[in-house]
Amino acid sequence: MAGRPEGTTRGNGGETHQGAGPGIDRLTTNHGVTIADNQNQLKAHARGPVLLEDMIFREKMMHFDHERIPERIVHARGTGAHGYFELTDSLADFTTARILTEVGERTEVFVRFSTVAGSKGSTDTPRDVRGFATKFYTKDGNWDLVGNNVPVFFIQDAMKFPDLVHSVKPEADRGFPQATAAHDTFWDFTSLMPESVHMLMWAMSDRTIPRSFRTMEGFGVHSFRLIDAEGRSTFVKYHWKPKLGLQSTVWDETVKIAGADPDYQRRDLFEAIDRGDFPEWELGVQLFDQEAADKLPFDHLDATKIIPEELIPVRIVGRMVLDRYPNNFFAETEQVAFCPSHLVPGMDFSNDPLLQGRLFSYLDTQLKRLGSTNFHQLPTNRAKGREGGCPFSNFQRDGHMQMNVPKGRANYEPNSLALAGEGGGPREDPQTGFTSFREPMEEGPKSRIRAESFADHYSQARLFWRSMHPAEQSHIVSAFTFELSKCQFEHVQQRTIANLRNVDEDLAARVAKSMNVDLPQISPAAQPVQDLPPSPALRIVGNMKETLEGRCVGILIHDGSDADEIAAVRQAVNEAGGRCFVVALKIGGAKLSDGNVCKADGQLAGSPSVLFDAVAIILSDDGARELVGHGSAVQFVMDAFGHLKAIGYSKDAQPLLDKAGVQSDEGVTGLNTGFISAAKQRFFDREAQVRATP
Ligand code: HDE
């Protein structure tokens, strides 16, 4: 807890009432009646039948029977945290929304991170896009920025969303596989939808195997509008940039994390907040007007396109800090309801047909999931930013689970009967109310049509591929190879590779070669593919921060390990802003060189090196020789090496390194000869030594 008072990262939410509320020490029914016996049902006699009249049992069991609500149709597995957003640079020239004009003001937020495809009980680390949804409780009402950690999407029109999701979810007849795109139906669908290819490049890249939520970027994906006081519009794309920089895992590592700790990413977020190491992101905006939009070599209303930062720079305007964990997962994280339609005055939507479809879908799904049109009254969803008085006020009434008790005789507008002094109840306000941008509409026949300007499916996929570092390119090839090799239908594999030929011939040839299949004929492209300039900002390698902040070093010890060496590594790691986690064969720890017992934070079999960012192997000669006989110790070192991590080691640990096949390189160091600076990095050049790079 790093000296922080217990509970400061939780418990400030205020909204606790029933159940374990402070000061209530009696156990009661839901109707406030004190319970005398919570152990036994009411029976006719000691060994006799149970009586139907036992209202205490029936209430308890009925409530339990109904505890579950439908999980989200997508993004079912998630975790959330409270925090605040603080504006650092005013956008008053572009918008009237106070959250974007009042520099220094802090606005409460709730953020939910999620995977997309898996069910609620799946693991945290499949290859998958991550959701990054933020609810800002602003003075002007709630604003939901419901984004992902990838800036594009698979499809262009919301009409195709149910098809896309059906294809990636478990297959219809067999109900598996879970939480993965690596199966026939997904690749069948996407191979028939060339518009998905750009997103597939991102999905097969290291972006979808992030190390932590704290090391992910976030994107609003669509273009939105900001509206100024004169009603003028500027397009905006939103970006979240993590303070800790971008960091991902390698595939073998992420697969093993899923086994070692299925809750790895939520635990990481929880523990970081708990120790006061608050996750932080900068909010960036790309601003552009219609004229600039018209000059882009692609249509910004097409959600399969990015606007490279090199074309329109990202302006940093604020920061978000997550500093409080929910009091209750269900009440807050499960019941939070995000809707892209939740905008505040000074903002508006664009005509992106994917966004337009989302405006309906999220509101609709909350009704199904939360069971009532009154879901906005739940504490986690309530608008609470307005100064003074009721945060919302209208004549919508009744419905399931109405939690307010509106006063007065009139529930319609206009009226003249409302309570004295209230002037007939709440009234609209043309000055400060939400007004849509007065966009001039083109004339044309009503039609179901895809704009011609959406027809270029490959140029940005090529841009992405060519922007990648060679190590990232080979990871992309491996990911396509892995996923397509899980497909049983050759025509599905072939059609995907045929599409990839439009992205880059080398990419397609490498995938075909590493699958040992024929290179198919190139698929026809609807438009000639453009050679757009690469965007180095899209890389992870090179954009990863060299820091130990937010990172953890695993220290492997055994009986006889040098106490001074352990202390020195701990101190150096802590001074660099990192954390240490001591691993020993047994949880009780090991007897060190100075005769003291050092307790372990984790037992070796349950604390593999995949859980750490770098490892220090501090062993005596005898200790090393003994651990050579333990597969988990050998694997610990072998994986750290294979996952391109720094390994610092004491001289006597050499036999264990030899057994693990560690070869010397700049990431394999003595404990006080460069380990700390090595621990801040990953060694991508090592990759060729540890696996065949396709
Ligand atoms: Fe979502 N999406 N989505 N989505 N989405 C949902 O809403 C949908 C899309 C995103 O933590 C659902 O409340 C449609 C893009 C996040 O609670 C559902 C389309 C982006 C979350 C839904 C999209 C997202 C969701 C399921 C295409 C990035 C989790 C439960 C037209 C910009 C929010 C729910 C949370 C959740 C529909 C595409 C992000 C069914 C129809 C693009 C982060 O309503």
CB 252 within 8 A of CB 643: yes
Asked if residue 668 and residue 566 are part of one domain, the reply reads: yes
On whether both 325 and 177 belong to a single domain, the answer is: yes
Same domain, 601 and 533: no
Residue 149 in contact with residue 213, Cβ under 8 Å? no
Altogether, the residues listed in the chain come to a count of 694
In terms of Cα–Cα distance, which of 322, 307, 367 is closest to 133? 322
Residue 112 is inside which H or E element, if any? strand 106-115
DSSP letter string over 584-600? ESSTT-EE-TTSPEEPP
Tell me the pLDDT of the chain averaged across its residues.
94
Judge contact between 188 and 211, C-beta under 8 A: no
pLDDT tier at 415, thresholds 50, 70, 90:
confident
Are residues 202 and 122 both part of a single domain? yes
**Closest C-alpha among 396, 362, 358, 360 to residue 377:** 396
Query: According to the model, what pLDDT value does residue 14 have?
Result: 46
Distance between CA 404 and CA 391 in Å, rounded?
A: 12
Mutate to test the pocket of ligand 1, among 358, 366, 369 (most ligand atoms within 8 A of CB): 358
Atom of ligand 1 nearest to the CA of 131: 43
Q: What is the pLDDT of residue 328?
A: 98
The domain spanning residue 568 has which CATH number? Answer: 3.40.50.880
Residue-number span of the structural domain to which 26 is assigned:
1-67
Of 312, 330, 364, the residue that ends a domain is 364
Neighbours of 509 (CB within 10 A): 15
How many domains is the chain partitioned into structurally? 4
Pairing of β 78-87 and β 106-115: antiparallel
Distance 213 CA to ligand 1 centre (A): 18
Query: Does residue 390 fall inside a structural domain?
Result: no
Among protein residues, the one with the nearest Cα to ligand 1's atom 42 is 153
Write out the binding residues. 72, 112, 161, 358, 362, 369
Assess whether 173 and 220 both reside in one domain: yes
Q: Determine how β-strand 315-324 pairs with β-strand 78-87.
A: antiparallel
**Which residues form ligand 1's pocket by a CB distance below 6 Å?**
72-75, 78, 112, 114, 131, 133, 146-148, 153, 158, 161, 221, 303, 338, 354, 357-358, 361-362, 365
- Tokens 């809750």 belong to which residue? 263
CATH label of the domain that carries residue 213? 2.40.180.10
| DSSP code string of 38-66 | SS---BSSTTSPBPTT-HHHHHHHHHHHT
pLDDT band, residue 2 (cuts 50/70/90): very low
Is 643 domain-assigned? yes
Q: What's the DSSP call for residue 3?
A: T
Q: Residues 60, 86: one domain?
A: no
Q: What is the pLDDT of residues 613-663, one digit of tens each?
A: 999 999 999 999 999 999 999 999 999 999 999 999 999 999 999 999 999
CATH number at residue 29: 4.10.91.20
pLDDT digits (tens, 9 = 90+) for 139-150: 999 999 999 999
Last residue of a domain, one of 538, 573, 607: 538
pLDDT in tens, 78-131: 999 999 999 999 999 999 999 999 999 999 999 999 999 999 999 999 999 999
Q: How far apart are the first and last CA of the chain?
A: 44
Query: Does some domain include residue 444?
Result: no
ipTM over 0.95: yes
| Separation of alpha carbons 244 and 459, rounded Å | 31
Tokens (6 digits) for 443: 């004339």
**Shared-domain flag, residues 83 and 215:** yes
Q: Do residue 577 and residue 641 come from a single domain?
A: yes
